[in-house]
Structure 1
Amino acid sequence: MQKSQATAKYIRTSTYKSRRVLKQIQGKNYKEARIILEFMPYRICKIIIKVLESALNNIDDNNIDTAKVKIKEAIANKGPVLKRFQPRAQGRGFPIRKPTCHIKIKLEV
Structure 2
Amino acid sequence: MAEAVKEARATAKYLRVSPRKARQVVDLIRGKRVGEALSILRFVPRKAARMVEKVVRSAVANAEHNYDLIPDELFIVRAYVDQGPSLKRVRARAYGRANIIRRRTSHVTVVVGERKEG
- TM-score (normalised: structure 1): 0.93
Distance in 2 of aligned mates of 1:26 and 1:99: 23
1:44 alignment partner, SS class: helix
Q: Aligned ranges for residues 72-83 of structure 1 at < 5 Å?
A: 72-83=77-88
1:66-101: CA deviations, max 9, x gaps? 331000000000111111101112211111111111
Regions of 4+ moved over 2 Å: 60-63
- One-letter amino acid of the counterpart of residue 95, structure 2: Q
More helix by share: 2
Gaps of 5+ in 1: none
Cα separation, partners in 2 of 1:74 and 1:63, compared to 1, 3 Å: closer
SS at 1:34's partner residue?
helix
The aligned counterpart of 1:90 is 95
Aligned-pair CA distance for 1:2? 2.2
Equivalent residue letter for 1:14: S
Percentage of matched positions with identical amino acids = 37
